[in-house]
Amino acid sequence: MQTQNPPQWLTEPCPPWCVVLHEQCDHERDRRHVSSSLVVPVVELRGIGEPDPPEEDQPVGEELALCLHRRVGSADTWLYVGDGSRQALELSPESWSRVVPALDRLVAAARE
């Protein structure tokens, strides 16, 4: 998102997906382009690896957020998928382009 008076540190145009209103006072580590989040409802299996695991694994309704982000000045864009606290994957778009077809194959196998 371009601002009318971009901060001095913003020396590049925002990518078309950026929704951040960049400010001069943004801390250096907060200077990044970020997309809108897509929220996807999911059912997650909890129990394995939990600090205080229940006796049985339990399916739990959850929401995952998906968004793009890139540090200002970097050429690397990352796609985040996570719940905002307990779990997250941040992979390059190229990596996701390999993961998604593999997931499609596993989902198809699970439906057989």
pLDDT at 85 (0 to 100): 85
pLDDT at 53 (0 to 100): 63
pLDDT at 84 (0 to 100): 87
Q: Which residues of the chain have pLDDT under 70?
A: 1-4, 48-55
pTM of the model: 0.82
CB under 8 A, 24+ apart: contacts of 62-67: 63/39, 64/39, 64/40, 65/37, 65/38, 65/39, 65/40, 66/37, 66/38, 66/39, 66/40, 67/34, 67/35, 67/36, 67/37, 67/38
pLDDT at 22 (0 to 100): 93
